[in-house]
Amino acid sequence: MSDDGSQTQNPPPSTDSGGGDDARSTAGMEQLLDQAQADLAAADGPAAPTAANPQPFPLDELQSEAGTDDIVSLNILSDVDLDLRIELGRTHMRLEDVLQLRSGSVVALDRLAGDPVDVFVNDRLVARGEVLVLNESFCVRVTELVSGGNA
């Protein structure tokens, strides 16, 4: 507002295409673009591999060092704890039926007598075997080792 109460407006920006401001702003944009491209090239470095210019990766010969040819004794594993579980079979029972089990109760399993039992180490099937009684103790004779793919 002016002193006399009338409003004054700034004139609208000129849309004249023949002015020198446009030429200067275009030159400034091109200069910024050139600077950005130069900075990117400097950041990549001259030795950076590109898809068109792959760099070879040196592979050294795989050889054992002196003193590592000795066989390591298995004694270092002698005190490692493992969870060993022998599974005779499985069954599904209701909680009511489990609570009624008493000494002498018979639980039917999903395997037949004489079928091999599963030997699990740390919850991984590693072998199958047969149950034996030796000196009044139950034992398992391993009859088959299970490879990693069959577990």
Condensed to tens digits (0 to 9), the pLDDT of residues 84-132 reads 999 888 999 999 999 999 999 999 888 888 888 999 999 899 999 998 8
CATH of the domain at 117: 2.30.330.10
Please return the burial class of 119, using the count of CB atoms within 10 Å of its CB with bins 0-12, 13-18 and 19+.
Answer: buried
Q: Considering the domain boundaries, does residue 54 fall inside one?
A: no
Q: Considering the domain boundaries, does residue 143 fall inside one?
A: yes
Q: Considering the domain boundaries, does residue 63 fall inside one?
A: no
Residue with the bigger pLDDT between 145 and 73: it is 145
Inform me whether the pLDDT recorded for 150 exceeds 70.
no
pTM of this structure: 0.44
Q: Considering the domain boundaries, does residue 14 fall inside one?
A: no
Q: What pLDDT does residue 15 have?
A: 47
**Rounded-to-10 torsion of CA 25, 26, 31, 33:** 120
* Tally of domains in the chain: 1
Q: Considering the domain boundaries, does residue 67 fall inside one?
A: no
As a whole number of angstroms, the distance between CA 129 and CA 119 comes to 7
- Count of Cβ atoms closer than 10 Å to residue 88 Cβ: 13
Residue 133 sits in which domain range? 81-101+109-150
> Could you report the per-residue pLDDT of 3-55, keeping only the tens digit for each?
555 555 544 444 444 555 666 777 778 888 888 888 877 776 655 555 667 77
Q: Considering the domain boundaries, does residue 13 fall inside one?
A: no
Q: Considering the domain boundaries, does residue 88 fall inside one?
A: yes
Q: What pLDDT does residue 36 have?
A: 83
**Residue 63 pLDDT level (bands cut at 50, 70, 90):** low
Q: Considering the domain boundaries, does residue 90 fall inside one?
A: yes
